[in-house]
Amino acid sequence: MNKIVLPLLLFAQIGQGQSSDKLPFASIGDYPDSYTPETVLVRLIAGLGYRYHWASKDLTSKDLDYRPSLEAASSRETLEHLYSLSTTIANACQNRPNIRPQDFSEMTYEALRAGTLNALQQAVEAIAAMEATASASNKVLFQRGDKTSSFPFWHVINGPISDALYHVGQLVSFRRTTGNPLDSNVNVFMGKNKK
């Protein structure tokens, strides 16, 4: 079988980025030459990574503590959930189990942000290294103690990827409320910032 061929420029831009912190997904990069299940999945994850990169950049203590109501999750708790979703995506792309429960309470904001972006980068790299259409045999695995549950790979799309996009939107809204709006140069349609 053939390996999936994705443009090198895509990975150069995802891996290096344009921001001073050098974390992945400062921009998305060029398009693949063809539509395959894997190239579409890579673009979807890269779009999530780009949105997250900028939505989570330069959050202050005020931003992290913000919650729209007493019952709602704070931005910090939303970052923890996004970290969990990103590792679920990366693990599914590598056919590895997700160990539950998880505790992120000791992780710093910087560690959560870097860990989320790096997990999404691992997912993209794992897909690019697959044989064509190999992702169809991957599973979403959850392990809690001795018990393991398995779901078709389809669930990574309607589950953690879609959920993560939803929560990144919350971060954008929350930071606007706290007076720290998203950089106006971010262009999610183009996948790169305006000059």
Q: Beta partners for 142?
A: 98, 149
Q: Average pLDDT, stretch 100-114?
A: 92
Cβ atoms of 62 and 112 within 8 Å: the answer is no
User: Residue 19: its pLDDT value, please?
Assistant: 43
In the prediction, which pLDDT does 132 show?
63
* Greatest Cα-to-Cα distance within the chain, rounded to the nearest angstrom: 53
Q: For residue 14, is it within any domain?
A: yes
The pTM assigned to this predicted structure is: 0.87
Evaluate the omega torsion of the peptide bond into residue 37 and state whether it is cis, within 30 degrees of 0: no
pLDDT band at 21 (very low <50, low <70, confident <90, very high): low
Residue 60 counted as domain residue = yes
- The answer to whether residue 155 sits within a structural domain is yes
φ, ψ at 25 (rounded to 5°): 75, 30
Residue 194 lies in a domain: no
Q: What is the pLDDT averaged over residues 27-53?
A: 92
pLDDT at 134: 64
Residue 110 sits in which domain range?
A: 8-177
User: The CATH number of the domain where 54 resides is what?
Assistant: 1.20.120.450
Asked if residue 3 belongs to a domain, the reply is no
Sole residue written with tokens 């560690």:
111
Of 42-46, 54-58, 62-66, 97-101, the range with the lowest mean pLDDT is 97-101
Least confident of 6-20, 78-92, 111-125, 177-191: 6-20
- Is residue 166 situated within a structural domain? yes
d(Cα 178, Cα 105) in Å, to the nearest integer? 23
**Is the residue at 160 inside a domain?**
yes
Q: Please determine, for residue 177, whether its predicted confidence score (pLDDT) is greater than 70.
A: yes
**Assigned domain for 183 exists:** no
The answer, yes or no, to whether residue 7 has pLDDT greater than 60, is: no
Q: How many domains does the chain have?
A: 1
